[in-house]
Structure 1
Amino acid sequence: VIFSGIQPTSKPHIGNYLGAIKRWIELQDTPAQLIYCIVDLHALTSVYQNPDSVSYTIKELTLSLLACGLDPTRCILFQQSQIPQHAELSWMLSCLTPIGWLTRMTQWKSQGLSNNNVHVGMLTYPVLMAADILLYKTTHVPVGDDQVQHLELTKTLVRTFNKRYDCQYLTSPNVIMGDVPRVKNLRSPDQKMSKSDKSILSRIELTDQPDEIRNKIKRAVTDSNSAISYDPDLRPGVSNLVTLFSAFNQCTVEETCKQFEGSNTEQFKEALADVIITCLKPIREAAYKLQNEHGYIDLVLKEGREKALEIAANNMNKIKSIILDYSTK
């Protein structure tokens, strides 16, 4: 059983595609049961929109996932908040989680402590993430480097729960690490590309038109050196573009640098825009067709909810039974 989630904070961009969605599609060729979740409860920890825009964003995200090739007959795709057992199990696990475990999380230290509007949700969302995973008896989780620590917390909570209630019901998931490119912000290459960034020029969305893609690549931050090389520390802007070309062209960064040896930044940006436009064309065309299929997105999420709810309710009932049996001993 493979579980993975994505936040509906805005339209997905090429960083989401290369880092997660592309792998989701590839996993459809495996015999594993695939459970993909639109984690709208997690999105509450970020600067949040009004309810109407959230509903729209969830549908836009679902549309984009389907346009990328996600097949609802080969996976379960659903909205997190429609399965109440996520929040229920999260509360049960939070009652077993010392605060110190959460304050040691790297993302909490980097975001929570520097945020004047810090709230409990930012601190406890790794527990909700653990609940998301454990609710479906997940065996494998695709993660990036920034999520490995959270998965380790999940494993710790498995051991804690099983020891506390003298059982072996919860099982620790394995990590699926892939050769995932770290896609950076086009305007601030020291930061990762983000759906929630205020500047639309910071990212390329999967449904961007060709002229939008060319404009964003043209205006992407580089440096005064016009040569093409890969050095993320000294040349983060150019290195980010090399990473993108290599990922979309399915080659190494070394091969990309060799290919554009003697080219300047302007020429390289033109070639990069061409590659991205070509790769995103079938996604953009599929998304356009899906927009005209009224009610299909709602149907996909409804059927996904029904399938997810059956699994979640069954496991949640067993977890409750374990806790009840232990408490009456």
Structure 2
Amino acid sequence: MPTFLTGLKPTGDLTLGNYIGAITPLIERQNNDDNKIFLFVADLHALTIYQDPKELRKRIRNFIAMYIACGIDPGKVTIYIQSENEYIPAITWLLECTTQYGEASRMIQFKEKSLQNKNFSVGLLTYPVLMTTDILFCDAHFVPVGIDQKQHVELARIIAHRFNTKYGKTFILPEAIINETGMKITDLKEPTKKMSKSDINPTGVISLFDDMNTIRKKISKAATDSDSKIKYDLKNKPGISNLINIAVFMSGKKIDEIENLFANKSYAEFKNFVADQVVNKLEPIQKKYYQLLNNQELDKILDKGIFETKQIAKTKFELMKQKMGLER
């Protein structure tokens, strides 16, 4: 049975890009009974930079409620909070002792973020090893990620292979699935960069928690160009191309259908259409989200998920200890 793992870090609100690029493909995969799927909130990963404890706690629950409101079925997907599984940090230490410093320090994200802030935490360096634990403890075959995380999955594969070579077969070698769809959804204000939940400028980001009027305002103010043609051209018309991508996903229409539909219409009319499609999709999701948020059923789902993943992680941890000579 192929196993898939997806985790999202609660460092900002879930965005339209997350919905299109990460959550929707997961919904499609859950409908295949041959797939085993794990979905988690990567709250330990969030701690590489300071997080306000109250905000972090709130955001973790928001994420879980929004996953389910979007269509994730807890009967088909194991949903859990990373920090509730104490075996994950324990496995991470064993894997850190199997990882070379040069491998961790060569990670592109570490290089970029350590240059931005010289007072970075050790957690920023070892972050990819924690991600390796997330992947390996549950024997994930496939890890859907953006291109910026591909290198981390490759490192997980290297670490797994090294551990297997030293201590005997213990881990499956995972593969990254590059999320091409999500990469197409970019910032509304700066359409050459991706729409990020960690962006300090919220005007270019559609949050799944934005009210409908805010969504309409953000789309109406989205960057376009001096031309008046509604045509898909990523190089010369990145703003309009981004809006077309959003319209395609939300409406189910093809690019050429969108272009033909708005061949003789204004940017304002097109933006209204895009906003209508987004609102029509997100309004019922938000309604369900607010119904779930303070529902005890959410806690039952999380209890079930952490019980299952703790058993899996404990078994893997005990196997690693035995192979590494850490038994009495």
TM-score norm. by structure 2 comes to 0.92
Partner of 1:170: 171
Partner of 2:307: 306
Q: Deviations over 1:258-317 (max 9, x none)?
A: 3322222211111100111111122122113223x5323222222211111111111111
Partner of 1:38: 41
Partner of 2:211: 209
Deviates more, 1:127-136 or 1:6-15: 6-15
8 Å contact from structure 2 (residues 186, 242) kept in 1: yes
8 Å contact from structure 2 (residues 22, 179) kept in 1: no
Structure 1 residues 99-178: aligned runs within 5 Å: 99-165=101-167, 167-178=168-179
Counterpart of 2:65 (choices 63, 66, 86) is: 63
2:273 counterpart SS class? helix
1:41 counterpart SS class? helix
Partner of 1:235: 237
Partner of 2:297: 296
Q: Distance in 1 between matches of 2:62 and 2:202?
A: 16
How far 1:179 moved relative to its partner? 4.3
Q: Distance in 2 between matches of 1:3 and 1:274?
A: 32
Q: Deviations over 1:98-127 (max 9, x none)?
A: 222123222223333233443322222111
Letter in 1 for 2:87: Q
8 Å contact from structure 1 (residues 2, 33) kept in 2: yes
Superposition CA RMSD, Å: 2.0
Runs of 5+ in structure 1 lacking a partner? Answer: none
Partner of 2:187: 185
In structure 2, do the counterparts of structure 1 residues 136 and 201 end up closer, same or farther at CA, with 3 Å as the change threshold?
same
Q: Distance in 2 between matches of 1:136 and 1:208?
A: 34
Runs of 5+ in structure 2 lacking a partner? Answer: none
How far 1:235 moved relative to its partner? 2.6
How far 1:163 moved relative to its partner? 1.6
How far 1:153 moved relative to its partner? 0.8
Partner of 1:278: 280
Partner of 1:14: 16
- Over 4 Å off, 4+ runs: none
How far 1:245 moved relative to its partner? 1.1
In structure 2, do the counterparts of structure 1 residues 181 and 78 end up closer, same or farther at CA, with 3 Å as the change threshold?
closer
Aligned length: 324
8 Å contact from structure 1 (residues 245, 275) kept in 2: yes
Q: Distance in 1 between matches of 2:302 and 2:12?
A: 18
In structure 2, do the counterparts of structure 1 residues 100 and 259 end up closer, same or farther at CA, with 3 Å as the change threshold?
farther
Letter in 1 for 2:128: P
How far 1:35 moved relative to its partner? 1.0
1:309 counterpart SS class? helix
1:45 counterpart SS class? coil
Q: Distance in 1 between matches of 2:117 and 2:227?
A: 36
Q: Distance in 2 between matches of 1:88 and 1:231?
A: 49
| 1:81 is the counterpart of 2:109 | no
TM-score norm. by structure 1 comes to 0.92
2:116 counterpart SS class? coil
Counterpart of 2:262 (choices 253, 260, 263) is: 260
How far 1:13 moved relative to its partner? 1.4
8 Å contact from structure 2 (residues 22, 182) kept in 1: no
Q: Deviations over 1:180-207 (max 9, x none)?
A: 2322122222322122223332211223
